[in-house]
Structure 1
């Protein structure tokens, strides 16, 4: 239905009144005319139940603008204008659901003819003869009742339900075995498997496969394609054996690769998902000044212009790639690094994009060592498959259109933290030229006392006539005449890479010695040509590797908080920094002063808090509260007596710098410092917004240059590490690639948590707060891959096996309509509670927790509450004019 009438402010407009009539018909369709339903008017706000006539009268006074998905009046989370084409009958028996499941799997595995001939002539498909016979066995089991006289469950549906409950409720394998054995004893005539292992193997044919490719233990090459029959590494400088011993045939290192083609094909087996894969083209509202989805970005549109044949079919998939390392054992005493590689399709609408069911684990790069620059060796199978998918595609059946088509796919960009950025791009993210955007024009300075590089000189980004370009004393003592560094296109980068000497991959001793070379300030930081340049479109992409906003925000906030509170291990205001200031001839008032004897005294700086101010700062943090699901319990990280902040995670810093820091330090710091903190907070809030506006981003491009120049006038050079410098490029990257939530590491690092970052459940809560969607919070898989490891001797194998099982059950759960699944669970705050009054400010959806307490407010608190109501309540707007 057309919902544009909801935004009309003239409630006597005929279009608005017609919209109200259509809504009333939709809400009470098939219901008792005398029943009561939640009223969505601005007064009731779905908290008060009203009859049909009363609701119609109320809506003539206005409807809640944000109530665009009518979940209280019969519309599901996934419903939209075209849902009439997809019918799901929740009253169907499990026999019907399993038949639908097997039909869809048959189409995916054996082609469209399966729907018309489910008997499957196994002799006609010799290559899939074994697979077909096993699938026919599943089909026969789906027709058998669980026990004589059972009309609802078959053996297949029972096993599916049991395994689904195990996954949803995180039962252990042992507890599942005990339950199955008990049920087998109680119902001896029922076709119940005796163990979890037997049940898992029974439905394994419904899932997809994993290829295990042997690799050189020194990361020199894969024993694949032309090297498949070799017993030793093909690299002449390595020659490492393939197997642990000649007779055992047990490989020393194995790459688990999950083919992409069948996983993309399975997206189109289900009608609902197949329809959503066209959303970006057919149902997305295009606005030239607004970006809410990667399809709105300049990078997406530029790709469509360069590859028109690819863009003609909206079903062709755009992919993003993310990878990072994690320790599967969760202990610092055992250094082991596994690198999962995850692919995510961007065709889906925002409420499904970047959700767990649509994450494809592409490969598991084995440990124990970090692959480093040799990571390209392991990307070979994926790159070859991507090249084939872009050039010719793969024949796929579209269940929504009921037709075959050639499905193609392309990789838009990668998403990584900064070290992994260097591994995938080939640009070294260390040293004098660490910035991968400025490249050879990076401005850097080595600090003799701090023994590190700092990245200042942001005045070069200012307009050529700006007055700060001529100032000397407050900056580096020199005038700034340089132009901003020019951003190179993909073709220009490729030309640079073609001129450098390519290194041999591997970690053999001879190869490591060859790779070591002393880097000088004027040399380029390219270390290799990335394997992704083999993709025919990679050099034409507007953006190839994303700067991870999550880690930039975390590092900048950590530096700010550490410096403001003068935390010894995190502050940038050290005696070495003061000595560097003296060498540079800057800010004489901060230079070390002679003390008693040979000691020196550090004068207090305007950007550090005193002991009393730090105590007040911590007391403020210890009392702060957030809405449910918005942030973690930050007061738990506060040590008021010691004036310390301990244990804050990445998302804690994210909330801290945007919402807390400027308010918590108000009145404690000088005006210049307080103002710069407010500007940084507003900058990150704008950049990380779910909806980006191009004119706003252009304004932030100018603002961030002024912010960094102000920081240079206040903070010591030690403060300006590469993460602070990368802030200057964030608005430009956002203009090209779109909203940050599609390009940061939050959703991926909850899969791959490092030892110090295993609290990414907070991200799920935060995403739930932003999107008001149940899936983000209820699909909680914090550290999913780490939790898969049961055998410490084979962590990669454990992850691969458990992922295949989970992938299979995720697919099956779409066909379970009468049990809670990750696709139909309701929101946390779906319970309705009547407000204390009739004002709209008290009618927001909420779920109370804890016991009720009776208290009395002071006169000051009453005045604050009255003022808040007067400023935020719609009913008093007319009286405030």
Structure 2
């Protein structure tokens, strides 16, 4: 049957598309055997979710059919395989059927690993992934073992699986199912007991050891316990830190120095980039951004549609000339893998992701590449540059000299180059990676020296208001005094700084390169908020990028949601409207109706219109508890609400994301004054449009104007203490979306989801640094 209807653009009005969907649902019902749920094959679900028939039909019309799902093997069709003519190849016998296509995969691995080695000399080859701190050994024995396991049947007479294919499928199911290592070992023990003749591995470690022939190893690099240096390159043979004189080794109970105090795990980027081109399908997808991306409209679907990407192509046309050159994004964050607050420990993974891949692949977990594991027990802070040295050196090498790489799709070799397009982190990590302190009166890195902030005497914090300067010059609100701070505001918006402007500012920074400074020092006025020169400026192209460090949208959403929740429900310790906030209003001469009312030695707080009281709070919490979501849509919103105490706590980033975009307009509509509810509803609508999967670039300019109006409305409603720097950062998000592409490819949610899985893995495997166990 012709299935070209699956790609029709006008799905809602196309009779051919409707007929195709009806044919698919009829086939799926006959295959469902009475069940009312089937796998949903839409573009988003991709056969991963079981949904009712009516929901599946709705998804197919609204979201579209997954264009790669052409054989409906999950809905009743048999999978067709290419026929093999045994008679035409006398060397192919029935005994070879159990190889399960592993030979083709290993051929690509062999070509990708030894593409530059003369025939017959592979036994003496040294892989290009060797590291100066690791003894150089040949990987041929382990590769030969892979080849042998690919040809060995799982048990005598088995024609379906080889040992290697069976283990690979088991490891794949473990990853998809989120199995723990303990449960995986228990399954292997059961299989070995039930099928004693099968050549099953005895443990997870033995199963993973079969992959050593692929070259995916990591290097251990010792580090100073005080984060001063790496014992690497010129410091490789030293036994103490030349900066702080701390010992490299940890003394054991026997007094010998054999255990390093701190170890950095470095996963070389080279074999991972080569691995992307060892698969025919993935290597084809790596050129999607140039060969198959739609470029005839103004819709932004991918980072390749962004201004930063296009400008980079113009500035470095030699790099853009080969679509196979890799563009990378970097994310990092710390977490405690042991869930023990009494024993704090912070491990920092550094993750890279390739933006060459199409939108439905580039943010999938399987394409996240772990580059570094920075050990604890504390956060590296500004000294994170010490640990980034191996990665930055690799990036410089890949930019300047490239890497000979085998392309399985063309069966040829090319020189692979790679570039880091930007980083994306939460706001504290933003400061560590960029070198711009995210605290103090100049906390906003976009406004830079022109950051508008005021110190609140009683609140003991900086507030960031003054958003009228972003309005159009003739806007009426610029002349309104009483509604704001009692003054007119006719200032122009802060100028957007170019890369050359940033470099000029960094020339004023003292001798504080990456590494630990020898003494605590106070920044001079010329240094602004710069604390160091970031190690990323060692990359030749870094200063030419339009955007170097992205703001994390979900982190901003969470902080805004916490501020709104705490103030709306007047939660002690979280509300932004307290006694100190009212005293600050008196000092600033703003909002006289909210000033403290003195009666002798006592005073009272006038009721604020943006705060719920008494029965309103109870009804709000009761409504929120009753909200139901589809499975997998939101995690723990209901369990975070306490009706009895009228408080909400424990919201995760994604819960705040869901509440702010979906529930806030409904929640405030029935409780707050219309003008307050309208401002919060517009804020919700802003984030909902900004976080869309696709966004029209012409609409982003409108969003930029909208957020200015919204923040000005909030300034007329909430006290100054409400406006921390996270509220202010929302004004820069539309511009960053224009420069960096759709928010969904830059935000931290995929990384946080990956970090959760990584945390569960480390919890099973890792111990605190220096632990003998």
TM normalised by structure 1 equals 0.76
Change (3 A) 1:73 1:436: closer
- How far did residue 586 of structure 1 move? 0.9
Aligned residue pairs total: 720
- Aligned with residue 415 of structure 2, among 387, 406, 415: 406
Q: Is the 8 A contact 1:177 1:194 kept in 2?
A: yes
Partner of 2:235: 227
1:295-310 equivalent positions in 2, closer than 5 A: 295-310=304-319
SS at match of 2:537: helix
Determine if the alignment matches structure 1 residue 137 to structure 2 residue 149: no
Q: Is the 8 A contact 1:503 1:515 kept in 2?
A: no
Root mean square deviation of aligned Cα: 3.4
Determine if the alignment matches structure 1 residue 656 to structure 2 residue 654: no
Partner of 1:818: none
Partners in 1 of 2:11 and 2:167 — Cα distance? Answer: 54
Partners in 2 of 1:388 and 1:614 — Cα distance? Answer: 59
Q: CA offsets per residue over residues 235-269 of structure 1, 9 Å max, x none?
A: 3xx12222225953322211100110110010011
SS at match of 2:754: coil
Partners in 1 of 2:741 and 2:324 — Cα distance? Answer: 21
Determine if the alignment matches structure 1 residue 69 to structure 2 residue 71: no
- How far did residue 652 of structure 1 move? 1.3
Partner of 1:536: 540
Q: CA offsets per residue over residues 462-509 of structure 1, 9 Å max, x none?
A: 1222222122222122221221111101111011102211226556xx
- Aligned with residue 345 of structure 1, among 347, 354, 365: 354
Q: Is the 8 A contact 1:318 1:345 kept in 2?
A: yes
Q: Is the 8 A contact 1:299 1:541 kept in 2?
A: yes
Determine if the alignment matches structure 1 residue 497 to structure 2 residue 523: no
- How far did residue 641 of structure 1 move? 2.8
- How far did residue 202 of structure 1 move? 3.9
- Aligned with residue 111 of structure 1, among 103, 115, 129: 115
Q: CA offsets per residue over residues 500-524 of structure 1, 9 Å max, x none?
A: 11226556xxx56x2232777x861
Q: Is the 8 A contact 2:125 2:138 kept in 1?
A: no
Structure 1 unmatched ranges of 5 or more? 29-34, 40-44, 48-62, 78-82, 754-780, 799-881
Determine if the alignment matches structure 1 residue 263 to structure 2 residue 272: yes
- How far did residue 142 of structure 1 move? 2.9
Partners in 1 of 2:585 and 2:142 — Cα distance? Answer: 74
Partners in 1 of 2:662 and 2:482 — Cα distance? Answer: 34
Change (3 A) 1:179 1:357: closer
SS at match of 1:546: strand
Partners in 1 of 2:577 and 2:422 — Cα distance? Answer: 37
Partners in 2 of 1:720 and 1:622 — Cα distance? Answer: 28
Partner of 1:294: 303
Partners in 1 of 2:261 and 2:83 — Cα distance? Answer: 49
Q: CA offsets per residue over residues 191-211 of structure 1, 9 Å max, x none?
A: 444444444334432350101
Change (3 A) 1:207 1:466: same
Change (3 A) 1:417 1:662: same
Q: Is the 8 A contact 1:390 1:410 kept in 2?
A: yes
Determine if the alignment matches structure 1 residue 701 to structure 2 residue 704: yes
Partner of 1:589: 593
- Aligned with residue 248 of structure 1, among 237, 250, 257: 257
Partners in 1 of 2:261 and 2:231 — Cα distance? Answer: 11
- How far did residue 278 of structure 1 move? 0.7
Partners in 1 of 2:392 and 2:684 — Cα distance? Answer: 40
Partner of 2:763: 787
Partners in 2 of 1:65 and 1:176 — Cα distance? Answer: 39
Partner of 2:558: 554
Determine if the alignment matches structure 1 residue 153 to structure 2 residue 158: no
Q: Is the 8 A contact 1:752 1:786 kept in 2?
A: no
Partners in 1 of 2:758 and 2:223 — Cα distance? Answer: 30
Determine if the alignment matches structure 1 residue 517 to structure 2 residue 525: no
- How far did residue 10 of structure 1 move? 12
Partner of 1:99: 103
Change (3 A) 1:481 1:181: closer
Change (3 A) 1:577 1:399: same
Q: Is the 8 A contact 1:321 1:341 kept in 2?
A: yes
Q: Which has the higher contact order (CA 8 A, sep 6+)?
A: 1
Partners in 1 of 2:73 and 2:329 — Cα distance? Answer: 28
- Aligned with residue 668 of structure 1, among 666, 671, 675: 671
Q: CA offsets per residue over residues 179-232 of structure 1, 9 Å max, x none?
A: 545555555554444444444334432350101111111111111122222222
- Aligned with residue 637 of structure 1, among 632, 636, 640: 640
Query: Which deviates the most, 166-175 or 134-143?
Result: 166-175
Q: Is the 8 A contact 1:415 1:745 kept in 2?
A: yes
